Structure 1
Amino acid sequence: MAVDKAPKHPMVLWAQRSGLVYLTIEVGDMKVEEFKIDGEKFYLKGTDVTGSQSYVVDLEFFDKVNGEEKRQIPTSRHLELVIPKEETKWWPRLLKNSAKVAWIKIDFNKWKDEDEEHDEEGGDAKFDNFDFSSLGLPSGSAGMNNFEDDLGDLSDDEEDMPPLEDADEAKANGTGSAEDKGEQEADVNKSGDAKEPEETKTETAHA
Protein backbone atom coordinates (compact mmCIF):
# COMPACT_ATOMS: atom_id res chain seq x y z
CA MET A 1 0.00 0.00 0.00
CA ALA A 2 1.40 3.39 -0.94
CA VAL A 3 1.99 6.00 1.75
CA ASP A 4 -0.70 8.65 1.43
CA LYS A 5 0.00 10.75 4.53
CA ALA A 6 2.64 13.33 5.39
CA PRO A 7 5.49 11.98 7.56
CA LYS A 8 4.96 12.25 11.30
CA HIS A 9 7.30 12.27 14.27
CA PRO A 10 6.74 9.13 16.36
CA MET A 11 6.93 9.26 20.14
CA VAL A 12 10.55 8.74 21.20
CA LEU A 13 11.47 7.61 24.72
CA TRP A 14 15.00 7.93 26.03
CA ALA A 15 17.15 7.09 29.03
CA GLN A 16 20.87 6.98 29.64
CA ARG A 17 23.82 5.65 31.58
CA SER A 18 27.23 7.27 31.63
CA GLY A 19 28.28 5.20 28.61
CA LEU A 20 24.95 4.45 26.85
CA VAL A 21 21.83 5.99 25.37
CA TYR A 22 18.55 4.05 25.29
CA LEU A 23 16.06 5.00 22.57
CA THR A 24 12.59 3.55 21.98
CA ILE A 25 10.66 4.47 18.82
CA GLU A 26 7.02 3.88 19.71
CA VAL A 27 5.70 2.61 16.39
CA GLY A 28 4.36 -0.95 16.48
CA ASP A 29 6.23 -3.27 14.08
CA MET A 30 7.79 -0.35 12.25
CA LYS A 31 9.18 -1.10 8.81
CA VAL A 32 12.53 0.69 8.66
CA GLU A 33 13.37 2.15 5.25
CA GLU A 34 16.39 4.28 6.13
CA PHE A 35 18.51 4.35 9.26
CA LYS A 36 21.79 6.18 9.92
CA ILE A 37 23.82 7.24 12.96
CA ASP A 38 26.86 9.43 12.33
CA GLY A 39 28.61 11.21 15.20
CA GLU A 40 25.92 13.36 16.79
CA LYS A 41 23.38 12.77 14.00
CA PHE A 42 20.54 10.25 14.19
CA TYR A 43 18.19 9.70 11.25
CA LEU A 44 15.43 7.11 10.94
CA LYS A 45 12.69 6.78 8.36
CA GLY A 46 10.02 4.09 8.11
CA THR A 47 6.33 3.24 7.99
CA ASP A 48 3.80 1.56 10.22
CA VAL A 49 2.84 -2.09 9.74
CA THR A 50 0.15 -1.21 7.19
CA GLY A 51 2.48 1.01 5.18
CA SER A 52 -0.06 3.82 5.18
CA GLN A 53 1.76 6.16 7.58
CA SER A 54 5.38 7.23 7.30
CA TYR A 55 7.54 8.36 10.23
CA VAL A 56 10.76 10.35 10.45
CA VAL A 57 13.12 10.83 13.40
CA ASP A 58 15.88 13.39 12.83
CA LEU A 59 17.95 14.15 15.94
CA GLU A 60 21.18 15.87 16.90
CA PHE A 61 22.44 14.31 20.12
CA PHE A 62 24.04 16.32 22.93
CA ASP A 63 27.36 14.65 22.10
CA LYS A 64 28.81 12.05 19.76
CA VAL A 65 27.80 8.39 19.86
CA ASN A 66 29.28 5.23 18.36
CA GLY A 67 26.61 4.26 15.85
CA GLU A 68 28.54 1.27 14.52
CA GLU A 69 28.17 -0.50 17.88
CA LYS A 70 24.44 0.15 18.32
CA ARG A 71 22.30 -2.81 19.37
CA GLN A 72 18.61 -3.48 18.89
CA ILE A 73 16.51 -5.18 21.58
CA PRO A 74 14.63 -7.89 19.65
CA THR A 75 11.98 -8.70 22.27
CA SER A 76 9.87 -5.58 21.75
CA ARG A 77 7.27 -4.71 19.10
CA HIS A 78 8.67 -1.20 19.21
CA LEU A 79 12.13 -0.33 17.93
CA GLU A 80 14.39 -0.29 21.02
CA LEU A 81 18.02 0.73 20.57
CA VAL A 82 21.08 0.76 22.83
CA ILE A 83 23.69 3.21 21.50
CA PRO A 84 27.17 3.58 23.10
CA LYS A 85 28.37 7.09 23.79
CA GLU A 86 31.72 8.00 22.28
CA GLU A 87 32.79 9.56 25.58
CA THR A 88 31.73 8.11 28.91
CA LYS A 89 29.98 10.92 30.73
CA TRP A 90 26.51 11.94 31.91
CA TRP A 91 24.52 14.14 29.54
CA PRO A 92 22.34 16.94 30.92
CA ARG A 93 19.79 16.22 28.14
CA LEU A 94 19.39 14.13 24.99
CA LEU A 95 19.70 16.86 22.34
CA LYS A 96 22.27 19.55 21.69
CA ASN A 97 19.46 22.10 21.44
CA SER A 98 17.95 22.81 24.86
CA ALA A 99 14.49 23.59 23.43
CA LYS A 100 11.74 21.22 24.54
CA VAL A 101 10.53 18.72 21.93
CA ALA A 102 6.96 17.53 22.46
CA TRP A 103 7.47 14.06 20.96
CA ILE A 104 10.55 13.17 23.03
CA LYS A 105 9.93 11.89 26.56
CA ILE A 106 11.97 10.32 29.36
CA ASP A 107 11.69 6.53 29.57
CA PHE A 108 11.08 6.15 33.30
CA ASN A 109 11.17 2.34 33.03
CA LYS A 110 14.86 2.53 32.12
CA TRP A 111 15.85 5.80 33.75
CA LYS A 112 18.38 5.99 36.58
CA ASP A 113 19.98 9.06 38.10
CA GLU A 114 23.74 9.40 38.05
CA ASP A 115 24.15 8.54 41.74
CA GLU A 116 21.94 5.47 41.30
CA GLU A 117 24.22 4.23 38.54
CA HIS A 118 27.19 4.36 40.93
CA ASP A 119 25.22 2.22 43.39
CA GLU A 120 24.99 -0.48 40.72
CA GLU A 121 28.77 -0.92 40.67
CA GLY A 122 30.36 -4.00 42.25
CA GLY A 123 30.84 -4.55 45.97
CA ASP A 124 34.63 -4.17 45.70
CA ALA A 125 34.14 -0.56 44.64
CA LYS A 126 32.18 0.08 47.82
CA PHE A 127 35.03 -1.33 49.94
CA ASP A 128 37.53 0.81 48.02
CA ASN A 129 35.63 3.90 49.22
CA PHE A 130 35.45 2.72 52.83
CA ASP A 131 37.74 4.48 55.30
CA PHE A 132 39.68 1.55 56.78
CA SER A 133 41.87 3.98 58.74
CA SER A 134 38.93 4.30 61.15
CA LEU A 135 39.65 0.65 62.07
CA GLY A 136 43.38 1.21 62.37
CA LEU A 137 43.97 -0.40 58.96
CA PRO A 138 45.40 0.95 55.70
CA SER A 139 42.82 2.56 53.43
CA GLY A 140 41.41 1.04 50.23
CA SER A 141 41.80 -2.55 49.07
CA ALA A 142 44.90 -3.05 51.20
CA GLY A 143 42.80 -2.45 54.27
CA MET A 144 40.26 -4.98 53.10
CA ASN A 145 43.01 -7.57 52.53
CA ASN A 146 44.43 -7.00 56.02
CA PHE A 147 40.95 -7.27 57.48
CA GLU A 148 40.48 -10.64 55.77
CA ASP A 149 43.92 -11.78 57.00
CA ASP A 150 42.93 -10.95 60.57
CA LEU A 151 39.81 -13.04 60.19
CA GLY A 152 42.00 -15.88 58.95
CA ASP A 153 44.21 -15.58 62.08
CA LEU A 154 41.15 -15.88 64.29
CA SER A 155 40.20 -19.09 62.52
CA ASP A 156 43.72 -20.48 63.10
CA ASP A 157 43.48 -19.71 66.82
CA GLU A 158 40.20 -21.57 67.05
CA GLU A 159 41.78 -24.62 65.42
CA ASP A 160 44.59 -24.64 68.06
CA MET A 161 42.14 -24.79 71.00
CA PRO A 162 41.53 -28.36 72.34
CA PRO A 163 37.97 -29.72 72.48
CA LEU A 164 36.16 -29.26 75.82
CA GLU A 165 35.88 -33.02 76.40
CA ASP A 166 39.68 -33.43 76.11
CA ALA A 167 40.25 -30.64 78.60
CA ASP A 168 37.87 -32.20 81.16
CA GLU A 169 39.46 -35.63 80.73
CA ALA A 170 42.93 -34.18 81.25
CA LYS A 171 41.81 -32.63 84.55
CA ALA A 172 40.38 -35.95 85.75
CA ASN A 173 43.64 -37.83 84.98
CA GLY A 174 45.86 -35.17 86.54
CA THR A 175 47.55 -34.41 83.27
CA GLY A 176 46.07 -30.97 82.73
CA SER A 177 47.96 -27.73 82.43
CA ALA A 178 49.90 -26.11 85.25
CA GLU A 179 47.09 -23.64 85.70
CA ASP A 180 44.56 -26.46 86.14
CA LYS A 181 46.84 -28.23 88.64
CA GLY A 182 47.21 -25.02 90.59
CA GLU A 183 43.45 -24.75 90.87
CA GLN A 184 43.24 -28.35 92.12
CA GLU A 185 45.90 -27.73 94.82
CA ALA A 186 44.07 -24.61 95.93
CA ASP A 187 40.91 -26.67 96.38
CA VAL A 188 42.82 -29.21 98.53
CA ASN A 189 44.30 -26.49 100.76
CA LYS A 190 40.89 -24.96 101.27
CA SER A 191 39.49 -28.29 102.46
CA GLY A 192 42.50 -28.78 104.85
CA ASP A 193 42.02 -25.36 106.44
CA ALA A 194 38.39 -26.02 107.11
CA LYS A 195 39.04 -28.78 109.77
CA GLU A 196 41.83 -28.98 112.37
CA PRO A 197 43.57 -32.44 112.81
CA GLU A 198 42.30 -34.58 115.77
CA GLU A 199 45.79 -35.15 117.26
CA THR A 200 46.36 -31.45 117.74
CA LYS A 201 43.08 -31.05 119.61
CA THR A 202 43.96 -33.92 122.03
CA GLU A 203 47.39 -32.54 122.94
CA THR A 204 45.90 -29.15 123.66
CA ALA A 205 43.36 -30.64 126.05
CA HIS A 206 46.06 -32.49 128.12
CA ALA A 207 48.10 -29.36 128.44
Structure 2
Amino acid sequence: MARQPAKTLWYDRPRYVFLEFCVEDSTDVKVDIDDHRVVFSCKNADGVEMYNEINLYTRVNSKDSQQKRSDRSITCFIRKWKEKVAWPRLTKENIKPVWLFVDFDNWRDWEGDEEAEMAMAEQYAELLQKVTVKGTPPAMDDLDDDI
Protein backbone atom coordinates (compact mmCIF):
# COMPACT_ATOMS: atom_id res chain seq x y z
CA MET A 1 0.00 0.00 0.00
CA ALA A 2 1.41 3.39 -1.00
CA ARG A 3 1.82 6.13 1.54
CA GLN A 4 0.59 9.65 1.04
CA PRO A 5 1.30 13.03 2.66
CA ALA A 6 -1.01 14.40 5.32
CA LYS A 7 -2.53 17.84 4.84
CA THR A 8 -0.37 20.10 7.00
CA LEU A 9 -1.11 23.56 8.40
CA TRP A 10 1.55 25.84 9.89
CA TYR A 11 1.86 29.24 11.54
CA ASP A 12 4.63 31.31 13.05
CA ARG A 13 4.99 32.86 16.51
CA PRO A 14 7.93 34.66 18.17
CA ARG A 15 9.16 31.57 20.05
CA TYR A 16 7.57 28.65 18.21
CA VAL A 17 6.52 27.40 14.82
CA PHE A 18 3.32 25.36 14.96
CA LEU A 19 2.56 22.43 12.64
CA GLU A 20 -0.74 20.61 12.48
CA PHE A 21 -0.92 17.31 10.60
CA CYS A 22 -4.61 16.87 9.78
CA VAL A 23 -5.28 13.16 10.20
CA GLU A 24 -8.46 12.02 11.94
CA ASP A 25 -8.39 8.93 14.17
CA SER A 26 -4.65 8.44 13.66
CA THR A 27 -2.76 5.37 14.94
CA ASP A 28 0.93 4.44 15.09
CA VAL A 29 1.89 8.12 15.28
CA LYS A 30 5.61 8.89 15.04
CA VAL A 31 7.02 12.41 15.02
CA ASP A 32 10.78 12.89 14.85
CA ILE A 33 11.94 16.47 15.30
CA ASP A 34 15.62 17.16 14.86
CA ASP A 35 17.43 20.48 14.54
CA HIS A 36 16.72 20.87 10.81
CA ARG A 37 13.93 18.47 9.93
CA VAL A 38 10.57 17.02 10.94
CA VAL A 39 9.52 13.51 9.91
CA PHE A 40 5.90 12.55 10.55
CA SER A 41 4.18 9.22 9.98
CA CYS A 42 0.97 7.53 11.07
CA LYS A 43 -1.98 5.53 9.80
CA ASN A 44 -5.36 7.14 9.24
CA ALA A 45 -8.76 5.62 10.09
CA ASP A 46 -8.74 3.66 6.80
CA GLY A 47 -5.30 2.18 7.49
CA VAL A 48 -3.55 4.34 4.87
CA GLU A 49 0.00 5.27 5.87
CA MET A 50 0.56 9.03 6.03
CA TYR A 51 4.10 10.38 5.73
CA ASN A 52 5.56 13.90 5.64
CA GLU A 53 9.19 14.95 5.67
CA ILE A 54 9.92 18.65 6.10
CA ASN A 55 13.35 20.25 5.85
CA LEU A 56 12.82 23.29 8.04
CA TYR A 57 13.55 26.88 7.05
CA THR A 58 16.25 27.23 9.70
CA ARG A 59 17.58 25.49 12.80
CA VAL A 60 15.23 24.70 15.69
CA ASN A 61 15.68 23.54 19.27
CA SER A 62 14.58 19.91 18.98
CA LYS A 63 15.12 19.27 22.71
CA ASP A 64 12.45 21.84 23.62
CA SER A 65 9.92 20.84 20.95
CA GLN A 66 6.94 18.57 21.46
CA GLN A 67 3.77 17.22 19.88
CA LYS A 68 0.21 16.51 20.96
CA ARG A 69 -2.24 14.06 19.38
CA SER A 70 -5.99 14.59 19.31
CA ASP A 71 -8.78 12.75 17.51
CA ARG A 72 -8.59 15.18 14.59
CA SER A 73 -4.89 16.01 14.22
CA ILE A 74 -1.35 15.93 15.53
CA THR A 75 0.03 19.33 16.55
CA CYS A 76 3.75 20.05 16.87
CA PHE A 77 5.18 22.92 18.90
CA ILE A 78 8.64 23.49 17.44
CA ARG A 79 10.89 25.82 19.45
CA LYS A 80 12.86 28.26 17.31
CA TRP A 81 16.61 28.43 17.76
CA LYS A 82 16.51 32.20 17.26
CA GLU A 83 13.45 33.68 18.93
CA LYS A 84 11.63 36.74 17.58
CA VAL A 85 12.84 36.06 14.04
CA ALA A 86 9.95 35.65 11.60
CA TRP A 87 9.98 32.72 9.20
CA PRO A 88 8.89 33.72 5.68
CA ARG A 89 8.13 30.06 4.96
CA LEU A 90 8.28 26.70 6.70
CA THR A 91 10.54 24.83 4.31
CA LYS A 92 14.20 25.30 3.56
CA GLU A 93 13.45 25.06 -0.15
CA ASN A 94 11.62 27.99 -1.70
CA ILE A 95 8.98 25.57 -3.01
CA LYS A 96 5.62 25.01 -1.33
CA PRO A 97 4.50 21.36 -1.34
CA VAL A 98 0.88 20.85 -2.43
CA TRP A 99 -0.03 19.43 0.99
CA LEU A 100 1.32 22.42 2.99
CA PHE A 101 -0.92 25.37 3.89
CA VAL A 102 -0.66 28.48 6.06
CA ASP A 103 -3.08 28.29 9.00
CA PHE A 104 -4.72 31.69 8.51
CA ASP A 105 -7.07 31.09 11.45
CA ASN A 106 -4.06 31.24 13.79
CA TRP A 107 -1.69 33.44 11.77
CA ARG A 108 -0.78 36.85 13.16
CA ASP A 109 1.73 39.34 11.89
CA TRP A 110 3.59 39.63 15.18
CA GLU A 111 6.81 41.00 13.73
CA GLY A 112 5.74 44.67 13.95
CA ASP A 113 3.72 44.35 17.16
CA GLU A 114 6.37 45.93 19.41
CA GLU A 115 6.66 49.03 17.25
CA ALA A 116 2.87 49.43 17.10
CA GLU A 117 2.61 49.06 20.88
CA MET A 118 5.35 51.67 21.42
CA ALA A 119 3.59 54.11 19.07
CA MET A 120 0.29 53.62 20.92
CA ALA A 121 2.02 54.14 24.29
CA GLU A 122 3.63 57.38 23.05
CA GLN A 123 0.29 58.58 21.70
CA TYR A 124 -1.37 57.82 25.05
CA ALA A 125 1.39 59.61 26.96
CA GLU A 126 0.97 62.72 24.78
CA LEU A 127 -2.80 62.65 25.36
CA LEU A 128 -2.30 62.39 29.13
CA GLN A 129 0.14 65.27 29.04
CA LYS A 130 -2.38 67.47 27.20
CA VAL A 131 -5.08 66.60 29.71
CA THR A 132 -2.94 67.25 32.79
CA VAL A 133 -1.45 70.57 31.62
CA LYS A 134 -3.49 73.20 33.40
CA GLY A 135 -3.81 76.61 31.91
CA THR A 136 -5.16 79.72 33.54
CA PRO A 137 -8.72 79.26 34.77
CA PRO A 138 -11.42 80.92 32.70
CA ALA A 139 -12.72 84.27 33.80
CA MET A 140 -16.15 83.94 35.43
CA ASP A 141 -17.01 87.61 35.71
CA ASP A 142 -19.81 87.33 33.16
CA LEU A 143 -21.93 85.14 35.43
CA ASP A 144 -24.94 86.64 37.20
CA ASP A 145 -25.00 86.82 41.00
CA ASP A 146 -28.83 86.64 41.05
CA ILE A 147 -29.12 82.89 41.03
More helix by share: 1
For residues 87-143 of structure 1, the C-alpha deviation after alignment (integer angstroms, 9 at most, x for no partner) is 1110111101001211000001110113465489xxxx63896289969x9xxxxxx
Q: Letter of the 1:79 partner, please give it.
A: I
Aligned to 1:126: 118
Report matched runs for 1:53-132 at 5 Å.
53-73=48-68, 77-88=72-83, 89-115=85-111, 117-118=113-114, 126=118, 130=122
Establish whether residue 35 from structure 1 lines up as the match of residue 31 from structure 2.
yes
Aligned residues: 131
For residues 35-67 of structure 1, the C-alpha deviation after alignment (integer angstroms, 9 at most, x for no partner) is 21111111111101343x001110001011122
Divergent runs of 4+, >3 A: 71-76, 114-120, 125-129, 131-135
Structure 1, unaligned stretches of length 5 or more? 138-149, 151-207
More strand by share: 2
Distance 1:133 1:110 in 2: 32
Seen in structure 2, the aligned counterparts of structure 1 residues 13 and 6 have a Cα distance that, compared at 3 Å, is same
State the structure with bigger RCO (CA 8 A, min sep 6), 1 or 2.
Answer: 2
The alpha carbon displacement at 1:74 in A equals 5.5
Contact 1:32 1:44 in 2 (8 A): no
The TM-score normalised by the length of structure 2 is 0.72
The CA RMSD over aligned residues, in Å, is: 3.3
